[in-house]
Structure 1
Amino acid sequence: MSNPLDAKRLADGFVAQWNEPDPAARSALVRRLWARDGVHVLVDPPQEMREAAASLAFPVPPLEARGHDALDARVTRAYDMFIASGDHVFEAAGEPSVLLPNVVALRWTMLSTRTREALGSGLDVLSLDDDGRIRTDHQFIAPS
């Protein structure tokens, strides 16, 4: 994955999966982009989840979706929450960075479709398998 053009194609596909309105096409993107046992980790969950865990005396848990079915459900839920209404869109923020031969970092932004105002952003660090599919994704949401 040392070729920047491959990193760009990966980043474009990664962002596209979150915006894809057709469930079958979205599922196909997940299966094309992710290793069968790939895992998406939300490293720093939202404040209300951290507070709920702390109230039960648990450390802040990372949230994980593992495998194609769970990843498809995760991407679909994000689509339903943020994109389906037509009010928001996810876009890449700049070019992806190749950190190591099989590790790519990409920044993204959630924009208002009406005003183009940035309403959220984050960083995903993707570790790829030998076939160029995502093995692990550590997602860091930027504080608002």
Structure 2
Amino acid sequence: MSAQTDRYTIAVTRYFEAWNAPDAPARAKAVTDAWTPDGTYTDPLADAGGHEAITAVISAVREQFPGFAFRLTGSVDGHHDTARFSWELVSEAGGTAGDSTPVAGSDVITLDGEGRIRTVLGFLDRVPAAA
């Protein structure tokens, strides 16, 4: 694995740490560790800038899907300061495929020189009807 590939993988690992943090203090710290202070998160359902707003978006999703966690599907691909990856939200209790993975998508992130996230552009491939 090259240093550049490590950079993308580390950034995506931090990204998932933020999304999967078990409580508000851990989530706020994980967002601060992963994103630049002026970082953004945008998907079809949310548009947030700065640590507090990004933390609020993640917290709202975690409240909507208790007992679920985000996980990487496939590998992280990147070049220059940009990486892309796919993910799914999975039930930590298991279940059938339809019930256990209600949300899935792909994200494109840009990084600063230190490997922190500047922007996330999220694309949702599967969303529950109530979302």
Distance in 1 (alpha carbons) for counterparts of 2:102 and 2:3: 32
Deviations 1:56-107 (A, max 9, x none): xxxxxxx41001111111111111111xx32x22111111111x21001111
Partner of 1:107: 86
**Any runs of at least 4 consecutive aligned residues in structure 1 with deviations exceeding 3 A, and if so which?**
none
Structure 1 vs Structure 2: percent identity of aligned residues?
26
Distance in 2 (alpha carbons) for counterparts of 1:65 and 1:35: 13
Do the aligned residues in 2 keep the contact of 1:105 with 1:126 (CA within 8 Å)?
yes
Distance in 2 (alpha carbons) for counterparts of 1:105 and 1:2: 17
Tell me, yes or no, if structure 1 residue 119 matches structure 2 residue 120.
no
**Superposition deviation, residue 2 in structure 1:** 6.2
Deviations 1:9-48 (A, max 9, x none): 2112211211111211111110011011111111x34xxx
Which protein has greater RCO, CA pairs closer than 8 Å, 6+ apart?
1
Distance in 2 (alpha carbons) for counterparts of 1:143 and 1:91: 14
Q: Which has the higher strand share?
A: 2
RMSD across aligned positions (CA): 1.8
For structure 2, the 5+ residue unaligned runs are none
- TM-score w.r.t. length of structure 1: 0.76
Q: Secondary structure at the match of 1:142?
A: strand
Distance in 2 (alpha carbons) for counterparts of 1:135 and 1:78: 21
For structure 1, the 5+ residue unaligned runs are 46-62
- AA matched with 2:14: G
Higher gyration radius (CA): 1
- AA matched with 2:87: W
